[in-house]
Chains A and B, each alone.
Chain A
Amino acid sequence: MATPLSLKELSKKEDRFTHGHRMCSGCGAPIVVKIAMLATDYPVVVSNATGCLEVSSCISEFTAWNVPWIHTAFENAAATLSGVETMYRSLKKQGKFDQEVKFIAFGGDGGTYDIGFQSLSGAIERGHDMIYICYDNGAYMNTGIQRSSATPLGADTTTCPAGSVIPGKLRNRKNLTKIMAAHDIPYVAQASPSHWQDLFRKVQKAHELKGPKFINVIAPCNRGWRSKTNDAIQLSRLAVNTCYWPLYEIEDGVTKITVTPKEKIPVAEFMKPQGRFKHLFSPENEGLLQRVQEEVDKEWAKLLKEAKTD
C-alpha cells in the first residue's frame, strides 16, 4: 500500500483531512495531520483528543475529517481508539467485517505527555494495533498557552511566566519519545513537518508494523511561540538543525538517526525568533540560556551514542 513520495502523485490523492478546518493560519498541527493522513492508502479510523485540532476540525455538522473520526475527551484518545480497534478485531474474528483498517490517534502534548499519559501507556501496553501521533507544540495552546510537561526549559507561558524573580520554566521537558520506547513496542519515532518526506516514511513504515506505534511530531504554534504566522516550517527546520528536536526512530529497540544536520547550529537560533524565549536573551538570564544549550548537547550526544552502539 505504498504511496509514491512524489508531490505530483500526492496532489492527485483525495484529502482525508480537508481544507475548511478552523485551525489558526500558520499552525503546524494541520500540516502534520495532513501529511500523516496522506501517508497511507489503507482505510483509517481516527481518534482525537480534546485540543486545538479537535475543537477546530469538527464543529456542529461541519467536519474536516473525511474518514471515520471519534472524539470523546481530553485524556483518552488512546483508550477510546483501543475500544474501536478491539471491536474491529472482534467483528473480524466473528466474520462480520472483512476489510483491512488502520487506526490513528492524534493528541497534543497536554493530552499525551500529561493528562493522557496513563491512557496512552495502558493502550500501548495492551498491544493495540494503532499509531499514536502526538503533535507537540510545547504547551496547552488550546486553553491559552499554559505550561505542559513538554514545555521546554526557559519558556515563558501563562502558568510559568517569565517574571522578575522566576525566568519562565525551570524544568526540562519530559522525554516522551524515550519513555514510549521504554514500553518496548515495535516502532517509536520523532518527526518534523519541515522534513515531510521523513515524516511520511515514518507513518508509512509504522502502518506496516503490527502492534502499537508512537510518533512524536513537533508542531509550531505561532500564538504560543509568539513567532511569525509564516514561520512554522522554518522553525521546525531550525528545531531539527539545532538538534533541539532530533529526527530518529527506534525500531525493535534499534535506534537510527534519520536526519543528521549538516551543521549543528546553536539552539539560540531556534529560540531567537520566538517571543516565548525573549527574556533568555537578556544578560541576567545568560546562565539559563547556556543551560538550554547544555541540555540539548547532552541529549544529542546520548542519542548519537545509542545510534552508534546499535
Chain B
Amino acid sequence: MAKVVAVTGNEACANALRQVNPDVCGIYPITPQTDMMQRFASFIADGKVDTESILVESEHSSMSACIGAAAAGGRVITATSSQGLALMWEMLHIASGDRLPIVMPVVNRALSAPLNIHGDHSDAMGARDTGWIQLWSENGQEAYDNTIQAFRIAEHMDIRLPIMVCMDGFIISHSIERLEYLEDQEVKDFVGPFKNFLPLLDLAKPKSYGPLILTDLYHEYKRAQHEIMTKVKDVVLDVAKDFEKMSGRKYGIFESYRLEDADIAIVILNSAAGTTKDVIDQFREKGIKAGLLKPRLFRPFPFTEIADALKNTKAVCVMDRADSYGSYGPLFMEIASALYPLEKKPLLMNKIYGLGGRDYLPSHAVQVLTELNEIAKSGKVNTLKDYIGVRE
C-alpha cells in the first residue's frame, strides 16, 4: 500500500536510499544536496540501514572511495551538486571506465564564478560525457521513483555502469510536495540483492583494477563503453515496466505531453516542464496545438525516438537551463543532432532560461509558445539562440 506524504525532494531521495539499504555511502556536504545526506546519516546513526558511511574530506575523495568500495564488491551510493560534481569529474570517468554501478543523486546547481548555489543544469551537463547514465526528474515523486529504478538499471548485468539521478536544486530538493512512498519491502524486492561482478575482494581470484592501456587498446575500450550505452535504453524501459506494475506510475525514456498532434513544441528538462505543461493547456484551450517533450534519459540520448516524437511538429523551442558559451545550449545540440537525419524537420530555436535559479515563469512559456506559433505560420526563425527572463 502506497503511503501519501508531504516531503521535500531531498527527503524523498534519502528515503528511497534508506529503503534500498546500500552497503557503503560516501558523504560530503554541498548545498543544496546537504540535507539529503544528513538525513541518510541519521538513518545510519539510528540503525535504520546497514550502510557504512565514509565521511570524506572532499567530493574527489568521495567518488574515489565509492569507486574503491564498488570495486571491492557491493552496493554504493553518494550524492552531490555543482562544484562537488565538478571536483569529482576526473573520478566520474574512472567509475564508468571501470564499470562500477554507483548510484548518485545530483541536485542540480549552478557553477562558479560568480558563486551561485541555486538551481541550474550546468553541473550535470558538464558531466554528460563522463560515461555515466543520466536520469532527469521533474518533481520529488520522479526523483524518488528514478532513484529506486536507478539501482536496477546500473546493476543490470549487461550494463554495470554508474548512474546520476538529476533533480533541480531548491525547486525540487527543498520544496514540499505531495508524494507517494512505496512500502519498504516493495522497494527491497524490486531492487533485489546486489549481484557481484569481478569483485576485488574475491581473494581466491586476484584482480588488477585500473591498468595502463596504451595506444594498442585504449581506442577499443572506449568504443566498448559506447556499445554498452546502446543497451541502456531497453533496460531503462524494462525496469520502468516493472516499476509501473508495482507503483502504477508509468515512465519512458522521455515524456510526451499533448505532442501527438502538436504543431509547436517545447523541449525542456526537469521542474520547468510542470509550469510549461500548464501553459500548454492554456494554448490548447485557445485552439493552438502546442505540446511538450521532457527528456528523462539524457545519457545515453535516445536520438531516434526523440526525432520520431518531434517529426510532425512545425516549430520546436529547446530550452536550456545551462549554457555553452559561444555555442548553443547543451540540450539544443542534442535535439538538433536528433532531428538532423530527418528529411522534413521542424524549425528550431534555442532559449536559455533560469540560470542560477532565476525564476521560470508561466509568462516565459507564453512568450516562447507565442513566438513558436508565429514561426510555424511564417516559416521563419528570427533569433536562433536567445536568453529569456534576462534583466535588461
Binding site for B on A (CB under 8 A): 43, 45, 47, 54-55, 58-61, 63, 65-73, 75-76, 79-91, 93-94, 97, 99, 101, 118-119, 121-123, 125-126
Contacts and interface: CB of A to CB of B under 8 A. Distances in A.
B60 interface: yes
Given A82-B65, A83-B67, A88 B72 contact: yes
A72 B57 contact: no
Given A83-B68, A84-B68, A91-B201, A122 B61 contact: yes
From DSSP, what is the main secondary structure of chain B's interface residues? mixed
A119 B211 CA distance: 21
Contact of A122 (B24, B56, B94, B216): B56
Contact of B50 (A66, A93, A121): A93
Nearest to A69: B208
Given A84-B69, A88-B201, A97-B201, A59 B211 contact: yes
B26 interface: yes
A72 B94 CA distance: 7
27 contacts: A43-B203, A45-B72, A54-B212, A59-B213, A60-B214, A61-B211, A63-B208, A70-B71, A72-B67, A72-B94, A72-B210, A73-B64, A76-B60, A79-B56, A79-B61, A83-B26, A83-B64, A84-B71, A87-B23, A90-B23, A101-B201, A101-B203, A118-B58, A119-B57, A122-B58, A123-B61, A126-B55
Contacts, number: 159
A291 to B, nearest CB: 35
Interface in B168-225: 200-203, 206-214, 216-217
Interface in B59-102: 60-61, 64-74, 76, 90-91, 94, 98
A90 B94 contact: no
B10 interface: no
Given A66-B206, A86-B65, A122-B56, A91 B71 contact: no
B281 to A, nearest CB: 48
A75 B74 CA distance: 24
Contacts of A89: 52
A60 B216 contact: yes
A258 to B, nearest CB: 31
B41 to A, nearest CB: 14
B74 A91 contact: yes
A83 B76 CA distance: 10
Nearest to B213: A60
A73 B74 contact: no
Given A72-B64, A80-B67, A126-B54, A87 B76 contact: yes
B206 A80 contact: no
A90 B213 CA distance: 32
B51 interface: yes
Contacts of A60: 211-214, 216-217
A47 B65 CA distance: 11
Contacts of A121: 57
Contact of A84 (B61, B72, B216): B72
For A43, A80, A82, A119, which residue has the most chain B Cβ atoms within 10 angstroms? Answer: A80
Given A63-B208, A87-B23, A87-B70, 9 more contacts: A60-B213, A66-B206, A68-B207, A79-B64, A84-B68, A84-B71, A87-B69, A122-B61, A126-B55
Interface string B24-50: 101000000000000000000000001
B215 to A, nearest CB: 11
Contacts of A94: 23, 50
Contacts of B24: 83, 86-87, 90
A71 B209 contact: yes
Contacts of B73: 87, 91
